[in-house]
Structure 1
Amino acid sequence: MLLLSASALLQAQDTAVTDLPGKWTLQDCFDYALNNNIQINSLRLNRMSSEQDLLLSKAARMPNLTGSASQSLTGGKVLSGSGGSSYEINTAGNYSVNSSVVIFQGNTINYDIRQKNLSLQVAGLNIAQQVNDVTVLITQAFLNILLAKENIIYVNDVVTTSAAQVQQAQQRFDVGSIALKDLAALQAQLANDRYTLVTAENQHRQNKLVLKQLLQLPSAYDFNINEPDTIIANEEIVSLQAAQDTAFATRPEIKSGELGIEIARLNLAKARAAYLPTLSATGALGTSNNRDPAYSYFKQLDNNFYQQIGLSLSVPIFTRRVNKTNEEKSRIAVAQSTLALKDTRTSLAQTVEQAYISVQNAQAQYDAAVEQLKYTQESYRIATEQLRVGVANMVDFLQQKNLYIQAFQSYIQSKYNAALTVRIYDFYRGVPVKL
């Protein structure tokens, strides 16, 4: 049985892994996280709990119905007229059905229904906010993988070129046309380039692990992404004010804060309603029986059957400041919710502004990196040609090569940084993330 259970579990895991994409696009990552992210699913369960609270609040308008039944058996001595006694056993029973419904309670039930409905909306907005947070993290991790992959391709080309240069230098050293120190310098550069390649490959694996953990994929799953053909890094951006206005109108954290104020106000209305009387209607049906030789069991139930209806009025007169305290604390909660919304708006405005500044800086760095790469690439090409014909100064060549490597890495970094910042900035405006 244990072997069969283990086999079934392994087969289920294999099936789960088989159902996953072979190569993941960015949209695949979003879709998978939307359905499988633990935090998102936990918030969905919270929303389901809020739905039950709303149903319970609506049910408070309906009458309740309770039934009760008791049956007793009593034994004891009974004295007779002649002074003797005997042991007798008596039975008795009571059976009833009771119902009550609230007619007026200061509109508390309606306030509570509206409050629970708003809480349900807030639960849905919490899901949307978590989805937004996960979307940003996934986008950043996905672009980091693309950055590391492109860096590997570039560094691999550098290693190939360095190996060819060492081979050419070795041939020249063998015929005595260059000194040993020049050959050693190129060999050291090749070793350094290979070390850089290993570092780039490690970074690529680490970035894949980060995204894999964000998606909460199985450890044994071989995770690979589908690389887009091009990455657009330089795009026209809208003004800061327009982006902030759109964010204030669409972001779930703002709507959640606004609903929080409404919930607090409804709580205040419920606290004020506690000063008002409560009117309820009641009704009951019941019967009873006991040991009476003159009547049968069912005859007693018929004779003792009763019906009752009535009204119940409860008026709060003195509550030892309970209602007053609840009202004042509800006022404070309204003020706190207002401040929380103000803080959320301020924080969002600052976040959007920081994203706007990041986009401007990233695009300026990208433009500068493109120009820098253009000139360093030409300088490196000239130095490489001079090395090929044997007229290059080794120190100058290595310096030009290092400058070219640094410029290319700055170009790659700035390209993906610009792509990331502009997508995050647009995402705050409600634009879906696409590569």
Structure 2
Amino acid sequence: MKKLTLLAILFTFAFSSYAQEKKWTLQECVQYALENNISIKQSQLDVEATEADKLLAIGNFLPTISATGGVSENTGLSFNPVTNNAQTTTFLSATGRINVGYTLFDGLRNVRESQRAELSKLASQYRLDKMKDDISLAVANSYLQVLLNKANLEVAKAQNEVTLQQIERTNNLVDAGTLPRGDLLEIQATNAGEKQRIAEAENAVTISLISLAQLLLIEDYANFDVADEGYNIVGDDIIEKPVQEVINAAEENRNEVKIAIKNVELAEKDLQIARGSYYPTLSAFFGYDTRYTDATTFSTQVDPNNPVVTEEIGVVEETGQTVIGQFPNTVTREIGADPFFDQLYQNDGISYGLQLNIPILNGFATRANVKRNKINLLRTEFQLEQAKLDLESNVYQAYVDAKGALKAYEAAIAALESQELAYDYAKDRYDVGLTNAFDFSQSKLRFDNATIEVNRTKYNYIFKLKVLELYFGVPATELKF
């Protein structure tokens, strides 16, 4: 028992350590967001809802079947449901009916509804795909912001290490009387400013990590961290393609245009469905019904023991002779109700036929509905044209942004190389006492800023490239970093 307890404690500790040491990659963050984001889940429910619409459209092609039944007890003067005779008594009765109906023609509205349900499902799927692309891009942007802040923090720490070394060296030279104390104070002031920038950089890293965790719906902010290695500039060959090629690919692959196209097709189906109300509706029906009652009935029959009775029927006026006639001697007998199942067979009946409904005038409701759907069709066509224009503008803007980001990155690298040479030169001069601490600190600050600018332009360029790849048709889950 003690061994099992010890193993459980060790397992729990190992799992907790793993959770704390785990660093999320960008692909893991994107995949987690796609599986857990609330907006994506809502879009998935929209897709599932279209399945219900499709099921309903298919059901319109099936016949309608309904069954009804009822049981009642009557007291007093009532009509016997079997004989339809009025009688004063108390009796129990039951009725049952099965109805079957089938629409033979309804202006092809059932066909249009089925086609519309399929289009609606595709439109919902495109909206879901667009939502996934938007979420993936937002996660990538937030992730790259974390990497940028981490890179800036590393630069600040590395440069502060150099400053601390300079403080130690300058302090020794001041004690030896080689340098004035003002140089030491200048370096110490530089160190204080760098400590402040390190604190700000650490705060920026923490805030960006929290923002990314909130985007992923992760509540354990304290243990959340990302992998900050291996993210380089890849896929930059797309920027060498002609912009029109990228625009054409976007029009074929982007969900914005696909959604607008499906909306136009849906509007066309709605117009066809509305026009179907102008046509007559032909339907067939079949019904089967039966009934039962426990009421007794009365039957008049000839008395077998005395089948004939003789009665006077008149007198002859001239002779006064009586006229006698013979009549059947009938007796009335009460007959009990037949058994339940026997009555079901004896009292059943069927009905069937066709029903034609011809619309003549319904207050212009059909005409108004058709007109409304015509307007909606025109509106969706305008929206499609606008979606294409917006997409072309966005792609062109993304293309120009990526080009500009590349130039900014290349310029930042060139500036860093120049500042690095200037910093090395200033450091060498400061080490031999040819320049003062202020000039050296200024050269070091420019070098630090150039390094931070390279980091900023690098991750900005990576993000702009990924945006361009999405427009070109690369799925969000297949983006390379």
Structure-2-length-normalised TM-score = 0.82
The 1:198/1:177 distance shift into structure 2, 3 A limit, reads same
Structure 2 stretches lacking a partner, 5+ long:
1-13, 79-86, 298-334
Aligned residue among 323, 328, 338 for 1:296: 338
Amino acid at match of 1:45: L
Structure 1 runs, 4 residues or longer, greater than 6 Å off? 14-21
Q: Distance in 1 between matches of 2:192 and 2:34?
A: 45
Report how many residues are paired: 415
2:234 touches 2:480 (CA, 8 Å); kept in 1?
A: no
Structure 1 stretches lacking a partner, 5+ long:
1-13, 79-85
2:123 touches 2:262 (CA, 8 Å); kept in 1?
A: yes
Amino acid at match of 1:64: T
Tell which deviates more after alignment, 266-275 or 343-352: 343-352
2:22 touches 2:225 (CA, 8 Å); kept in 1?
A: yes
Q: Distance in 2 between matches of 1:393 and 1:264?
A: 76
How do residues 152-301 of structure 1 correspond to structure 2 at under 5 angstroms? 152-219=153-220, 222-232=223-233, 235-236=236-237, 237=239, 238-290=241-293, 291-293=295-297, 294=335, 295-298=337-340, 299-301=342-344
Please state how far the C-alpha of 1:426 moved relative to its aligned partner: 1.5
Structure 2 residue 354 is the aligned partner of structure 1 residue 311: yes
Question: Is the partner of 1:76 in helix, strand or coil?
Answer: strand
Amino acid at match of 1:316: P
Question: Is the partner of 2:100 in helix, strand or coil?
Answer: strand
Which position in structure 1 is the counterpart of 2:480?
Answer: 434
Structure 2 residue 71 is the aligned partner of structure 1 residue 67: no
Amino acid at match of 2:283: S
Question: Over residues 56-82 of structure 1, what are the superposed CA-to-partner deviations in whole Å (9 max), with x where a residue is unaligned?
Answer: 11011000111101111122379xxxx
How do residues 16-415 of structure 1 correspond to structure 2 at under 5 angstroms? 22-76=22-76, 88-219=89-220, 222-232=223-233, 235-236=236-237, 237=239, 238-290=241-293, 291-293=295-297, 294=335, 295-298=337-340, 299-415=342-458
The 1:221/1:199 distance shift into structure 2, 3 A limit, reads closer
Amino acid at match of 2:471: Y
Q: Distance in 2 between matches of 1:314 and 1:221?
A: 70
The 1:187/1:233 distance shift into structure 2, 3 A limit, reads farther
Please state how far the C-alpha of 1:201 moved relative to its aligned partner: 1.2
Tell which deviates more after alignment, 104-113 or 228-237: 228-237
Please state how far the C-alpha of 1:270 moved relative to its aligned partner: 0.7
Question: Is the partner of 1:274 in helix, strand or coil?
Answer: helix
1:234 touches 1:418 (CA, 8 Å); kept in 2?
A: no
Which position in structure 2 is the counterpart of 1:7?
Answer: none
The 1:89/1:421 distance shift into structure 2, 3 A limit, reads same
1:369 touches 1:411 (CA, 8 Å); kept in 2?
A: yes
Tell which deviates more after alignment, 284-293 or 318-327: 284-293
The 1:20/1:250 distance shift into structure 2, 3 A limit, reads farther
2:184 touches 2:437 (CA, 8 Å); kept in 1?
A: no
Q: Distance in 1 between matches of 2:408 and 2:217?
A: 34
Which position in structure 1 is the counterpart of 2:311?
Answer: none
Amino acid at match of 1:292: T
The 1:15/1:56 distance shift into structure 2, 3 A limit, reads farther
The 1:326/1:230 distance shift into structure 2, 3 A limit, reads closer
Task: Select the structure that is richer in helix.
Answer: 1
Q: Distance in 2 between matches of 1:16 and 1:317?
A: 76
Question: Is the partner of 1:199 in helix, strand or coil?
Answer: helix
Q: Distance in 2 between matches of 1:408 and 1:286?
A: 90
* Structure label with greater radius of gyration: 2
The 1:233/1:395 distance shift into structure 2, 3 A limit, reads farther
The 1:149/1:20 distance shift into structure 2, 3 A limit, reads closer
Structure-1-length-normalised TM-score = 0.90
Amino acid at match of 1:205: T
